[in-house]
Structure 1
Amino acid sequence: MAGYEEEEVKLFGAWGSPFSSRVEIALKMKGVKYQLIEEDTGNKSPLLLKYNPVHKKIPVLLHNGKPIAESIVIIEYIDDTWKSGTPILPQHPHQRAMARFWAKYIDDKLVPMWKSIRSTGEEQEQATKETEEALRTLENELQGKKFFGGETIGLADIIANFLGLWFGILEEVCEIKVLTQDKYPRIHQWINEYVESSVMKTSLPKRSELLSLFQTYFKPTK
């Protein structure tokens, strides 16, 4: 999109958030210059509440004064608005639909379960079982593919951001092991390819810093 460098692009987010990181990855893939406005999720700014009055959470993209909320919605907006850089969604309608399907599956099945896995007793046992079922589904989906999007990183891969870095850190901090290499070798291979890709090396938080942050907020439940 001609002249995008002069446009106002701001991201209300937080460096340790996998959801905020999703949007930063998309912006960098498209070569869009932006200003990151760091939010304290425990003390949300009036501007964040103004621009996302419905959910009142990060991330929020502000493009020329117009806010867009929810990470998947924002990423699709970025891909539709800026045609330079790397495409995030494929052009073929069926492939686009499948990318959206797997992005939603990952968002619905894996991210919300983590709070339950950190619980105890029957609730933890059921959550672990459901998470392992979702991981097996993703393991099968990766058969014969480098990324969920095929040979290049696409929408579903960006949405699986949590799985690529945060999941393993939370396992370490919470002293739980679900995503084992012997059970999910394709997912582990995907993680290696994902975090070692050029865009992720400049987009993802440092693991050591993220580990330190999560050791403060996600201590093992005794």
Structure 2
Amino acid sequence: MGEVKLIGAWGSSMTWRVQMLLKMKGIEHEYVEEDLANKSPLLLQHNPVHKKVPVLLHNGKAIAESLVIIQYIEETWENGPSLLPKNPYDRAVARFWAKYFDETCLPAILKAIKTAGEEREKAKEEAIELLKFLDNEVKGKKFFGGDTIGLVDIALSFGAYWFDIILELVGLELITKDKLPNLCQWIDEFVNYSFVKENLPDRDRLTHVFKVMFPGSAAK
């Protein structure tokens, strides 16, 4: 299917999304590590709009934005497991929840992390209310994709692993069993799923990265 190259950054959950699917499908590719503090001409050339990772290069043609890349991979390579169901309606639902997390939940949670005092408490409650929709969506299921991980599970990986580290560092309780029991159960299933567990970035190294990003964090 031609040359495949992934421009990414270590520890980036958005890069990880794409890496996971490439590995799941057994797609041979070259990985190019990007220094986000000193962005390369390669990245700026192929993603001049957002100047962010990840970027997938397939036969020299660039595709940006992780969810867009995932869907491109799904439509281009039939080998290996699929993250999207066969039924068109179910595929649309999966795309909806993945987009909902990125565009609605993610900004709300980041606001709670970056604020303090009464503003943080208000932002926290708003984030919980938004996450309750996802909590209900995964109720009674092992994964959002059913018995196996799917698009929504991969999209929510930031909330399952990366956010857990950040929330611990800043001293913020957000995803708790009393407020979001189904999401908590899903997180446990997801991070301990063998293929996911084997490919998650090292927690200690990631914690060190976030300590630099959040110098006033609770954990020292």
Identical residues among aligned pairs (%)? 52
Q: Deviations over 1:36-90 (max 9, x none)?
A: 2111112111110000011111110011111000000000001111111111111
The answer to which structure, 1 or 2, has the higher relative contact order (CA under 8 A, 6+ apart) is: 1
TM-score between both structures, scaled by the size of structure 2: 0.93
- C-alpha separation between the residues in 2 aligned to 1:207 and 1:108? 26
Q: CA RMSD in A?
A: 1.6
1:19 aligns with one of 6, 14, 39: 14
Number of residue pairs the alignment of both structures matches: 217
- C-alpha separation between the residues in 2 aligned to 1:42 and 1:110? 26
For 1:48, give the aligned amino acid: L
Q: Secondary structure of the equivalent of 1:110?
A: helix
1:212 aligns with 2:208: yes
Show the 5 A alignment for 1:49-68: 49-68=44-63
Show the 5 A alignment for 1:115-134: 115-117=110-112, 118-134=114-130
Can you give the 5+ residue segments of structure 2 that lack an aligned partner in the other structure?
Answer: none
- C-alpha separation between the residues in 1 aligned to 2:165 and 2:186? 16
1:180 aligns with 2:209: no
Question: Following TM superposition, by how much is the alpha carbon of 1:189 offset from its aligned partner in structure 2, in angstroms?
Answer: 1.4
Aligned counterpart, 1:153: 149
Q: Secondary structure of the equivalent of 2:106?
A: coil
For 1:146, give the aligned amino acid: K
1:34 aligns with 2:29: yes
Contact 2:15 2:54 in 1 (8 A): yes
1:85 aligns with 2:80: yes
Q: Which runs of 4+ in 1 moved over 4 A?
A: none
Aligned counterpart, 2:105: 110
Can you give the 5+ residue segments of structure 1 that lack an aligned partner in the other structure?
Answer: none
Aligned counterpart, 2:96: 101
Question: Following TM superposition, by how much is the alpha carbon of 1:114 offset from its aligned partner in structure 2, in angstroms?
Answer: 3.5
- C-alpha separation between the residues in 1 aligned to 2:172 and 2:108? 13
Contact 1:142 1:148 in 2 (8 A): yes
2:165 aligns with one of 155, 169, 179: 169
- C-alpha separation between the residues in 2 aligned to 1:122 and 1:58? 34
TM-score between both structures, scaled by the size of structure 1: 0.92
